[in-house]
Amino acid sequence: MRPSLLDPLFASASALPGVGPKTGKLLDRLLGEAERPARAIDLLLHIPFSSIDRRNRPKVAQAAIGAVSTLKVRVVEHRPPRAKGRNGPWRVLTEDETGDLTLVFFRANSGWIEKVLPVGETRWVSGLVELYDGFRQMVHPDRILDEAGLAALPPVEPVYGLTEGLFPRVMAKAAAAALARLPQLPEWLDAKFLRATDWESFGASLGRLHYPQMPRDLAPEEKFVARLAFDELLSHQLALRLVRLKMQVLHGRAQKSEGALAARIRAALPFDLTGDQKSAVAEIVADLSSEKRMLRLLQGDVGSGKTVVALLAMAHVIEAGRQTALMAPTEILARQHFATIAPLAGAAGLRAALMTGRDKAAERRATLEALANGALDIVVGTHALVQDDVAFARLGLAVIDEQHRFGVHQRLALGEKGEAVDVLAMTATPIPRTLALAFFGDMDLSTLREKPPGRQTIDTRAVNVERIDEVVAGLGRAIKAGARVYWVCPLVEGSEESDLAAAQDRAEDLRKFFGDRVGLVHGQMKGRDKDAAMDDFSCGATKILVATTVIEVGVNVPEATIMVIEHAERFGLAQLHQLRGRVGRGTGKSSCILIYAGPLNETAKARLEILRETEDGFRIAEEDLRLRGEGEVLGARQSGAPGFKIARLDLHADLLRAAREEAEKILEVDPEFLSERGQNLRLLLYIFERDQALKLLRAG
Ligand code: ADP
Ligand code: MG
């Protein structure tokens, strides 16, 4: 149970003083998750990414153009918009002894302007100074203050990431309210270490970030961010190590086989394994055969052939006399794995079944029984597999696909359905080595970098949205020639409904040209409808499948040769790469059309350029890291990856190393978190929500 000391931090943000229902909703959108509202802790850890320096107070003539200044001016004259229409701006002429400055207000409330800027009085105005027609102007000053107001103005104002409709001052107020709720916390870092780094306490560091004294205070390499980044990394490393310790305590069992079953499956394959597949299988078989408990991550780009590797691992375990399970994060993926596995398993005389949340009661009962009495060798499914009533006669291998989409708990839960179960995790998100270490800690790593032979390169083009008609015309020709097309619609900022609307509109548009050959699939569809839409596309009843990003992972329709991605500039590089991987799976020549709405900034340009240049997921991941920081590499928020809120792996690599060492030391000395410091570290794990790992202490 979470210590009650932390309760104020986990109360919802809308319960904070000064946060009304409207702001509460906006905060939920910005910082909440599907099933829970934004909380005080989310506000606290949503640290400002930059600041505005209000200490810059030059004379008007010296104010730099294009910079924020705080200027002391005398109000000379109000110039309301010309009577008719009243659409023009309201101007206020002001001056000091060096020059003049026009304040500009659009659609402003005149009563208010006249009140805050009385003619003849002196006021401080703070905002962006621009040059317009040769005159200095400030459009909508951020602040208009008298001397008393100026005295109360924070010298350096934090700038927060926001969402549409949430205003900076409202956000700052909410953050301040959350900070006021922060309880006095004991120190969990080692005193000597703290002295050596010259860091301040967790609370003091947070305080400084929300009330910066200097713009530099917010820099990721400065000590306030560093302290918090280290805390976050340490909590993550501790959690990883606890999982690892738990795995080692429950030591493994040598699962030995002659490889006869695997050989039968290989004989049934219409292709040879790639070199990388062979080495991955060898690494896995070595783990399985040893006494050690396997905890291995198989990473390989979309289409690199992970499923076959998993199946061969399963065959090894089945021959050793035990059962195997493969869990995927979505229904579609589970079905697809099953479609690949079932015929091959059948050819080798193995019994396999599919289990998802949508099975009929009778089906489910039959599968449960067959698992419990050992009649099934392989079960493929969704998280339906980890429900309480699922029991195996003798589970020996748990394969977890797209493992970063599951929580620590779900991941472990499948392995706990048997004794000494070996675990093979898979991910299609290629992760650079430095990150793999941070995210997967001590997992062993097998990598499929080589693509199966015969893969066509995908002709990738970026097209301005102004030329969308040409794209549609091109699709018409391609469809006539037998092509099948994915059309992916963009993520619309923060809202699933508008996401959906965009896809529906696009489908309707395309139906004007292509009639009922256009299908639609999106995240809010019922499972059965989703399957039906996928099936229609897969069998060719529809030729164009309009989709939101639900098709991101794993979907396999080899006949699809064209991928159109609308508003490509809104997607992360890794995501674009994954989407593109949906085509080029068959023998047909494939292409990917990235439709963008210009003008593109430098980063967006660089991203599209990289995609055109290469199809190597690892190279793309590395470039992505370079361009954007680690968040995007794993699509942190979207895919529920264990993203970091504060730590940046591109800048905090040293802290990561230090955190690993510290975690190791801590667990050597006090593996149960029983000492006084251990108790304090528990708080840390709760604060960064790695506390699921603490449950392992009791369970283990
Ligand atoms: P991943 O899960 O890594 O995205 P899959 O396992 O779904 O990839 O494999 C993609 C496709 O490639 C499948 O149709 C599979 O049968 C095929 N495939 C796998 N390995 C090879 C190989 N060595 N040679 C040719 N095709 C392969
Ligand atoms: Mg796969």
What pLDDT score does 631 carry? Answer: 41
CA of 277 to the centre of ligand 1 (A): 10
Q: Establish whether residue 617 lines the binding site of ligand 1, counting it when its CB lies within 6 angstroms of any ligand atom.
A: no
Q: What is the CA radius of gyration of the chain?
A: 29
Task: Say which ligand is closest to the CA of 581.
Answer: 1
More confident residue, 327 or 449: 327
CA of 428 to the centre of ligand 2 (A): 7
Ligand 1 atom nearest to CA at 308: 6
With a CB cutoff of 8 Å and minimum separation 6, the contacts of 141 are 103, 125, 126, 127
What pLDDT score does 289 carry? Answer: 94
Q: Is the separation of the CB atoms in 315 and 344 below 8 Å?
A: no
Instruction: Report which of 596, 618, 663 is spatially closest to residue 609, judged by C-alpha positions.
Output: 596
Identify the residue whose tokens are 């695997």. Answer: 262
Q: Establish whether residue 430 lines the binding site of ligand 1, counting it when its CB lies within 6 angstroms of any ligand atom.
A: no
- CA 459/CA 43 separation, integer angstroms: 44
Is the domain spanning 458-614 CATH 3.40.50.300? The answer is yes
Residue whose CA lies nearest to ligand 1 atom number 25: 452
Which ranges of 380-467 does DSSP label H, i.e. alpha helix? Answer: 408-415, 433-440
Residue 435 binned pLDDT confidence (cut-offs 50, 70, 90): low
Domain boundaries, the chain: 4-52+159-213, 55-153, 458-614
Residue 249 binned pLDDT confidence (cut-offs 50, 70, 90): low
CA of 553 to the centre of ligand 2 (A): 8
Q: Establish whether residue 584 lines the binding site of ligand 1, counting it when its CB lies within 6 angstroms of any ligand atom.
A: no
pLDDT (mean) for 306-331:
95
- CA 289/CA 257 separation, integer angstroms: 8
Of all residues in the chain, what percent carry a pLDDT higher than 90?
59
Q: Establish whether residue 277 lines the binding site of ligand 1, counting it when its CB lies within 6 angstroms of any ligand atom.
A: yes
Q: Does the pLDDT of residue 83 top 70, yes or no? A: no
- CA 234/CA 227 separation, integer angstroms: 10
- Identify which of 269, 279, 297, 304 to mutate to test ligand 1's pocket (most ligand atoms within 8 A of the CB): 304
Start-to-end CA distance of the chain, whole Å, equals 17
Ligand 1 atom nearest to CA at 340: 16
Looking at residue 490, its amino acid is P
Q: Does the pLDDT of residue 309 top 80, yes or no? A: yes
Task: Say which ligand is closest to the CA of 558.
Answer: 1
Residue 632 binned pLDDT confidence (cut-offs 50, 70, 90): very low
Identify the residue whose tokens are 């602040």. Answer: 143
CA of 459 to the centre of ligand 1 (A): 20
Q: Establish whether residue 582 lines the binding site of ligand 1, counting it when its CB lies within 6 angstroms of any ligand atom.
A: no
CA of 414 to the centre of ligand 2 (A): 19
What pLDDT score does 630 carry? Answer: 43
Going by their DSSP bridges, the two strands 295-300 and 444-448 should be labelled as parallel
What pLDDT score does 272 carry? Answer: 94
Q: Does the pLDDT of residue 479 top 90, yes or no? A: yes
CA of 342 to the centre of ligand 2 (A): 14
Judging by beta carbons within 10 Å of its beta carbon (0-12, 13-18, 19+), is residue 570 exposed, middle or buried? middle
pLDDT by residue (tens digit) across 131-148? 998 899 999 999 999 999
pLDDT (mean) for 388-417:
86
What pLDDT score does 351 carry? Answer: 97
Residue whose CA lies nearest to ligand 1 atom number 17: 305
CA of 273 to the centre of ligand 1 (A): 9
Which ranges of 213-254 does DSSP label H, i.e. alpha helix? Answer: 223-249
Residue whose CA lies nearest to ligand 1 atom number 24: 452
Q: Establish whether residue 300 lines the binding site of ligand 1, counting it when its CB lies within 6 angstroms of any ligand atom.
A: yes
Mind spelling out the 3-state secondary structure of 576-596? HHHHHCCCCCCCCCEEEEEEE
- CA 588/CA 456 separation, integer angstroms: 8
Which of 442-451, 474-483, 690-699 holds the top average pLDDT?
474-483
CA of 427 to the centre of ligand 1 (A): 14
CA of 328 to the centre of ligand 2 (A): 9
Q: Does the pLDDT of residue 493 top 50, yes or no? A: no
What pLDDT score does 645 carry? Answer: 86
What pLDDT score does 617 carry? Answer: 84
- Going from the C-alpha of 478 to that of each of 562, 568, 589, the distances in angstroms are 9, 21, 11
Task: Say which ligand is closest to the CA of 272.
Answer: 1
**Tokens representing residue 339 in the block:** 């479609």
Tell whether omega for the bond before 81 is within 30 degrees of 0, i.e. cis.
Answer: no
- Identify which of 556, 559, 577, 580 to mutate to test ligand 1's pocket (most ligand atoms within 8 A of the CB): 556
pLDDT (mean) for 30-40:
87
- CA 288/CA 290 separation, integer angstroms: 6
What pLDDT score does 494 carry? Answer: 44
CATH of range 55-153; options 3.40.50.300, 2.40.50.140, 3.50.50.60, 3.40.50.970: 2.40.50.140
C-alpha atoms less than 13 angstroms from C-alpha of 319 in its C-beta half-sphere: 21
What 8-state DSSP symbol labels residue 267?
A: H
Q: Does the pLDDT of residue 693 top 90, yes or no? A: no
In the beta sheet, which residues pair with residue 93? 77, 102
Q: Establish whether residue 252 lines the binding site of ligand 1, counting it when its CB lies within 6 angstroms of any ligand atom.
A: no
- CA 228/CA 199 separation, integer angstroms: 10
Instruction: Report which of 336, 311, 309 is spatially closest to residue 556, judged by C-alpha positions.
Output: 336
Q: Does the pLDDT of residue 554 top 80, yes or no? A: no
Q: Establish whether residue 303 lines the binding site of ligand 1, counting it when its CB lies within 6 angstroms of any ligand atom.
A: yes
Going by their DSSP bridges, the two strands 130-132 and 122-128 should be labelled as unpaired
pLDDT (mean) for 169-194:
95
Residue 379 sits at φ, ψ, to 5 deg, of: -125, 135
What pLDDT score does 287 carry? Answer: 93
Q: Establish whether residue 308 lines the binding site of ligand 1, counting it when its CB lies within 6 angstroms of any ligand atom.
A: yes
Residue 647 sits at φ, ψ, to 5 deg, of: -65, 140
Q: Is 243 helix (H, G, I), strand (E, B) or coil?
A: helix
Q: Does the pLDDT of residue 535 top 90, yes or no? A: no
Residue whose CA lies nearest to ligand 1 atom number 22: 452
Looking at residue 99, its amino acid is G
**Tokens representing residue 322 in the block:** 């035990």
pLDDT by residue (tens digit) across 633-659? 333 333 233 468 898 876 787 898 899
Ligand 1 atom nearest to CA at 301: 3
Q: Is the separation of the CB atoms in 670 and 677 below 8 Å?
A: yes
CA of 445 to the centre of ligand 1 (A): 19
Q: Establish whether residue 428 lines the binding site of ligand 1, counting it when its CB lies within 6 angstroms of any ligand atom.
A: yes
What pLDDT score does 474 carry? Answer: 94
Q: Establish whether residue 586 lines the binding site of ligand 1, counting it when its CB lies within 6 angstroms of any ligand atom.
A: no
In the beta sheet, which residues pair with residue 397? 324, 422
Of all residues in the chain, what percent carry a pLDDT higher than 70?
91
CA of 476 to the centre of ligand 2 (A): 30
Looking at residue 147, its amino acid is E
What pLDDT score does 633 carry? Answer: 39
- CA 289/CA 282 separation, integer angstroms: 10
Task: Say which ligand is closest to the CA of 402.
Answer: 2
For residue 176, give the H/E element and its range.
helix 168-180
- CA 160/CA 167 separation, integer angstroms: 10
Residue 379 binned pLDDT confidence (cut-offs 50, 70, 90): very high
Q: Please state whether 137 falls in left (phi above 0), alpha (psi between -120 and 50) or beta.
A: beta
Q: Does the pLDDT of residue 355 top 60, yes or no? A: yes
Mean pLDDT score across all residues of the chain: 87
CA of 186 to the centre of ligand 1 (A): 52
What pLDDT score does 624 carry? Answer: 74
